[in-house]
Structure 1
């Protein structure tokens, strides 16, 4: 092969190499905007998901369920200070409270929430004698504190050492309409309807449903 032919071959090879090198660069330039667009789309989707989650949390907490932390010993032995509960806020929008249910209610005069147990319903006559509670002259069976009462009596003590109705606002023990009479399970250490008066339905936050903290106490609340 003469010199001219070899030069022509070299030119062809060089041109071919240049074309191959240029092709990936062009593809990379096209891919870059596509990857950026994909990343932007994913970011927008995450923002949407977070926004929806926040809205759901607000709706659930405002209208359906809310956390509540127990403070004090008024519901001992069934609830302890520091336990965290889930409160059902919507239940009483559809029905009235039942006797024996554990409820959370707001006391405007004190600017805070209380947790107690429903004892008297509208129209009930409530009377407390020693450790016994009477509803319409019938002794109320209270299995949720039966063991605590037995233990106190075994020690020669009354479980309930508070006077019946120390608050002068309660002139009689008949529960008015649209209210409840609530008491703490720890009768000797509970600021409840004996002192606070009758609890208006409009001040009810809801019914305590679940103990979710600490984890070893995780359980549904028996009513």
Structure 2
């Protein structure tokens, strides 16, 4: 009789622990769904950093910093999702000379700049702007010869940004943090 009660007590403890572990796993999954999303890289615009078929985690709602990799909904096709690198931030200086755009910014108290050639349409849009407006960003693909980015569609709005890429989980031989 005593052995039976001891066994029942042990099984009761095990059941409670299993339920607790199950509840914790559910909470972790829900937290993951709220904070992160997955994304499949489609195309070569971010090569060599990301390749076609790479699978990544994106931190939803995180404010991007300069050189962060983000996912975004392009304005002309919100069903799509692009992966690009943030080059220009709100407040950066813009100087346009024909189709040549110079984005200047401070980095550790040093003035740095990027020289970029933009399309005629983007040049017309940026013609009267001397700095990137609040909640706007200039993004580029790492593979500049094969990327549809801010050089052709202009500045993006903060609302278009889905999140900041934080981790590649596939392919397994390149799993790791993204910067």
TM-score for the superposition, normalised by structure 2: 0.71
Give the Å deviation of 1:201: 1.5
More helix per residue: 1 or 2? Answer: 1
Give the Å deviation of 1:120: 1.8
Distance 1:57 1:84 in 2: 18
More strand per residue: 1 or 2? Answer: 2
The one-character-per-residue Cα deviations of 1:166-214 (angstroms, maximum 9, x if unpaired) are: 6579622643321101111122322222344422223323222332322
Give the Å deviation of 1:39: 2.4
1:128-139 matched pairs, under 5 angstroms:
134-136=102-104
Q: Cα 1:168–1:100, aligned 2, differ >3 Å: closer, same or farther?
A: closer
Give the Å deviation of 1:32: 3.9
SS in structure 2 of the partner of residue 60 of structure 1: helix
Give the Å deviation of 1:106: 3.0
Question: Which segments of 5 or more consecutive residues in structure 1 lack a partner in the other structure?
Answer: 1-26, 142-159
Give the Å deviation of 1:69: 2.4
Distance 1:187 1:217 in 2: 22
Q: 27, 38, 45: which one pairs with 1:55?
A: 27
Q: 107, 110, 114: which one pairs with 1:140?
A: 114
TM-score for the superposition, normalised by structure 1: 0.59
Aligned residues of 2:122 and 2:151 also touching (Cα < 8 A): no
Distance 1:107 1:43 in 2: 50
Q: Per chain length, whose mean CA-contact separation is higher, i.e. which structure has more relative contact order (CA < 8 Å, sep 6+)?
A: 2
Distance 2:120 2:25 in 1: 48
Aligned residues of 1:210 and 1:219 also touching (Cα < 8 A): yes
Q: Cα 1:164–1:45, aligned 2, differ >3 Å: closer, same or farther?
A: same
Distance 1:53 1:140 in 2: 46
What residue number does 2:78 align with?
110
The answer to whether structure 1 residue 84 and structure 2 residue 58 are counterparts is no
The answer to whether structure 1 residue 45 and structure 2 residue 17 are counterparts is yes
Over the aligned positions, Cα root-mean-square deviation in angstroms equals 3.5
What residue number does 2:118 align with?
164
Distance 2:89 2:29 in 1: 33
What residue number does 1:215 align with?
172
Instruction: Using the TM superposition, name which of 187-196 and 164-173 deviates more.
Output: 164-173
Question: Which segments of 5 or more consecutive residues in structure 2 lack a partner in the other structure?
Answer: 105-111
Q: 134, 150, 158: which one pairs with 1:177?
A: 134
